[in-house]
Structure 1
């Protein structure tokens, strides 16, 4: 791996760490970068997941103020995320590599759609709150638990835009400040990525050079995302994600 490639992966890690903290689709930056440098899709996905865990932790720490008073909620939803992440990681490791290569373009397209519609989803959630239409249990109830488990399966298997899904679910099914819910989203994504990474380290083929580059970059990006992310133009972030994700789809379909 050349030094230019290493710099590119490190920079992608910074971008992904920040984007994961703010929006939750940083994999759509790092995964295509790894594919462009010739890593096999499953190895790229596994190494990317492990590398982004420190960034997820960094982002969660950056939102620690908003986590105060949410212990019970985190215990309930975190359990669902843990089980979902294990299920998704096991599916990735037991299904043939060819199946992953065939499924991932569809997952990326779904993730890109989520990124594009995220502003409208957020606006819809805000309108419901302002008009008093949102009536939900304190922690979302059984519907949210099942939905978080399903999102955890998706996150353990691939994970792009997992945060967008989680924040949308929390915003609709839990009545609380959106910044506090974003903090919960960061912790749930950390749990899913962390348990998947633990399984991958033991069982899967890992490129540790890639992991190190993404991890250091993601830690920096996670802190930047927590501190200055709200000042960045969301449309610019979404545009970058859509462009990079589209390139990844084309590359996977033509390789």
Structure 2
């Protein structure tokens, strides 16, 4: 890579770390940039995955206050994320590269749809929780949920999201927030903090699998890691003040660019 390309990858890492901490979809920033500087798709994917691990850790540390009292959830859902992430990473290694080239554009488009629909999903989830709370109060019942862990199906959903994240990962944070927001009656910021930890587990276990058998572009890994670590701190401190519409617009534009690059490349 030239110096200009290295700077571009570093800046993309900052953007990805920031967006991942706030909501997710940072891969839609870094992955297209890695393709643009000439890195093959599968190498770009595994390099991006490993590079984003420090950013996920940085974001989780930035949200440490919101993680208070969630140790049980971290243990319960962390196991599901670990198993799912490992399965997704193995699937990436076992399936031929041609399959990746065909599957990933569809996954990116799915991620973009989720990015666009995220505000509407959040409003509906909030309205649903409020309606359930009001109904419980009318019936004289405790408005708090009976379970703090979302029931038996939520770990399965988290695990399936881990499979997706281990294979590619764009918008896994949005999927996690949607799943947990449906099943858990809690503040969105607390759920976002939990999401950061689970995404970190998925990225980390997939990276461990890739380390033994996959080829990396280590310059890209280092640049993304440095940028994403900085971005994780920005996302946890300043990112909440950024206009969500601007962030979603950037993600959509970059994601469509990635799809076009893969289909026309």
Which residue of structure 2 aligns with residue 229 of structure 1? 239
Which residue of structure 2 aligns with residue 109 of structure 1? 109
Q: Deviations over 1:158-181 (max 9, x none)?
A: 000000000111111011111111
Q: Distance in 2 between matches of 1:64 and 1:153?
A: 25
Q: Distance in 2 between matches of 1:43 and 1:137?
A: 42
1:97 equivalenced with 2:125 (yes/no): no
User: CA contact under 8 A between 1:51 and 1:213: conserved in structure 2?
Assistant: yes
**Aligned length, in residue pairs:** 255
Which residue of structure 1 aligns with residue 197 of structure 2? 187
Unaligned runs of 5+ in 1: none
Pairing of 1:106-185 with structure 2 (within 5 A): 106-132=106-132, 137-185=147-195
Between structure 1 and structure 2, the one with the greater Rg is 2
Q: Distance in 2 between matches of 1:67 and 1:233?
A: 24
RMSD across aligned C-alpha pairs, in angstroms? 1.0
Normalising by structure 2, report the TM-score. Answer: 0.95
Task: From 209, 224, 230, give the equivalent of 2:219.
Answer: 209
Unaligned runs of 5+ in 2: 134-142
Which residue of structure 1 aligns with residue 261 of structure 2? 251
Q: Distance in 1 between matches of 2:64 and 2:127?
A: 27
Which residue of structure 2 aligns with residue 62 of structure 1? 62
1:203 positional shift: 1.1
Dislocated runs of 4+, deviation >6 Å: none
User: CA contact under 8 A between 1:136 and 1:173: conserved in structure 2?
Assistant: no
Normalising by structure 1, report the TM-score. Answer: 0.98
Which residue of structure 1 aligns with residue 8 of structure 2? 8
**Match of 2:238, SS?**
helix
Which residue of structure 2 aligns with residue 78 of structure 1? 78
User: CA contact under 8 A between 1:86 and 1:196: conserved in structure 2?
Assistant: yes
